[in-house]
């Protein structure tokens, strides 16, 4: 059964049956705890401390970096390079798309800093579930920009990530915004829903476009 766990920040653990794929584990210095657990694959979108903490994985694993398209067991990985920020000072990030067979297409936007161009949209292709940063603050997309990117990809399920929480370090992320402004803007185009826990099953997607707020587990 396909499901995911939202650790916190931009980190998700996907379960494609017996295959576990972890995306963007963060260093605990950001303020959130992170468990040390096994994963078959770890996808690192870029080499910032809040996205590349591979010490969070116990045992043997395969670490995936860069924009190489490949199979991760039964899962097809599409990797697309994008700018971290508009002025190019922070370098590039990798956007990851995961899809097993005819199952839902899941896109993780890492620390994307601006709108996608036509080539990037074409490379990513269909998107059923979009994991989008919304915190802004000079680190990534803000609420309005995240919704513009969502309009480009047209997901049925939009999951906000990378935003201020009571645990996130104010010293490291002084201008990171919380959920409130994003939800105010999103309600014009999306049905709003809150998950009861940080584990979400993806066996059935909503009929109408939905923003799903998933509580962090750590």
Q: Which domains does the chain have, with CATH numbers?
A: 2-213 (3.60.15.10)
How confident is the model at residue 84, as a pLDDT? 75
Residue 165: phi and psi, rounded to 5, are -130, 170
pLDDT at 125: 96
What is the model's pLDDT at position 71? 97
- In whole angstroms, how far apart are CA 61 and each of 37, 41, 153, 163? 11, 5, 31, 28
- What is residue 91's predicted lDDT score, i.e. its pLDDT? 77
Task: Write down the pLDDT at residue 90.
Answer: 65
The list of the chain residues with pLDDT below 70 reads: 85-90
Instruction: Return the pLDDT at 89.
Output: 65
Q: DSSP assignment, residue 183?
A: H
The pTM (predicted TM-score) of the whole model is 0.96
Supply 123's token pair: 């490379």
Answer yes or no: are the C-beta atoms of 132 and 205 closer than 8 Å: no
């Amino acid at each position: 059964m396909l499901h995911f766990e939202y650790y916190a920040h931009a980190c998700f653990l996907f379960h494609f049956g017996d295959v576990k794929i972890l995306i963007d584990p963060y260093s605990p210095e950001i303020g959130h705890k992170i468990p040390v657990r096994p994963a078959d694959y770890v996808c690192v979108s870029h080499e910032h401390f809040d996205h590349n903490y591979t010490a969070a994985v116990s045992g043997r694993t395969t670490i995936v970096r860069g924009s190489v398209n490949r199979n991760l067991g039964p899962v097809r990985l599409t990797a697309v390079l994008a700018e971290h920020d508009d002025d190019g000072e922070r370098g590039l990030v990798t956007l990851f798309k995961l899809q097993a067979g005819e199952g839902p297409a899941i896109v993780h936007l890492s620390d994307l800093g601006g709108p996608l161009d036509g080539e990037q949209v074409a490379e990513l292709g269909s998107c059923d579930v979009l994991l989008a940063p919304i915190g802004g603050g000079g680190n990534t997309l803000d609420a309005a920009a995240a919704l513009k990117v969502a309009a480009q990809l047209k997901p049925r399920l939009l999951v906000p990530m990378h935003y201020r929480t009571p645990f996130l370090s104010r010293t490291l992320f002084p201008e990171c915004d919380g959920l409130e402004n994003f939800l105010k803007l999103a309600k014009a185009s999306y049905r709003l829903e809150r998950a009861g826990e940080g584990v979400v099953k993806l066996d059935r997607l909503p009929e109408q476009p939905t923003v799903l707020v998933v509580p962090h587990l750590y």
